[in-house]
Amino acid sequence: MNEPTSTVSMTVNGASVQREIATRLSLVDFLRETLRLTGTHVGCEHGICGACSVLLDGDPVRACLMFAVQADGHAITTVEGLAAPDGTMSVLQDSFCETHGLQCGYCTPGMLIAAHALLEQNARPSTGQIRDAISGNLCRCTGYQQIVDAIQLAAQRRGDAVSLAAQRGGDAVSIAAQRAGDATR
């Protein structure tokens, strides 16, 4: 008997993707095996560990608990999509390196996805809010403290970058206004 198939179309890390797939294919297997985006890990395969977390339209979801066809028409971001197109790590990813927020690394993609979603909604989370945001992601190595440290460091760095950009923007406006004033004299 032939296995039922479906056509899915979605955006994955900013790129449009369309494939004919087995209708029963899970989203995590679609990402890893069909698209070869192996940064998303598979752990428990029943929604407990968080290793398979990806963003669906910006919200973290368990890719092991979804069929790929359920993501049809949506935007998926995997851990690969958190880095710049040239592979440069994001501030968050770099902060995990800086604070030793990983050991074996198996939980790390899911942790990064959970942390990214948190920082997009709450630029200055408290320690309790960080712990709450990653509470659905299991790590058997780090004891979690370095992961919390990493997310706090990333929040601080992102905040500093925004302040610097605002300051530079303000400086640029001042210089432009001054030049405009000089030109009318």
Query: Given the rule CB under 6 A, which residues bind ligand FES?
Result: 42-45, 47-52, 62, 64, 102-107, 139-142
CB-nearer residue toward ligand FES: 107 or 155 = 107
For the CB of residue 141, give the shortest distance to ligand FES in the complex, in Å.
3
CB-nearer residue toward ligand FES: 24 or 140 = 140
CB-nearer residue toward ligand FES: 75 or 138 = 138
For the CB of residue 113, give the shortest distance to ligand FES in the complex, in Å.
11
Where residue 12 falls (left for φ over 0; alpha for ψ -120 to 50; beta otherwise) is: beta
CB-nearer residue toward ligand FES: 44 or 164 = 44
DSSP 103: S
For the CB of residue 33, give the shortest distance to ligand FES in the complex, in Å.
14
Q: State the greatest distance between any 2 C-alpha atoms of the chain, in Å, as a whole number.
A: 85
Q: What residues have CB less than 8 Å from 127, skipping those under 6 apart? A: 148, 152
Spatial strand order of the sheet with 5-12 comes to 15-22, 5-12, 75-77, 53-56, 59-62
CB-nearer residue toward ligand FES: 102 or 115 = 102
For the CB of residue 54, give the shortest distance to ligand FES in the complex, in Å.
10
DSSP 63: T
Residue 5 burial class via C-beta count within 10 angstroms: exposed 0-12, middle 13-18, buried 19 and up: middle
For the CB of residue 137, give the shortest distance to ligand FES in the complex, in Å.
8
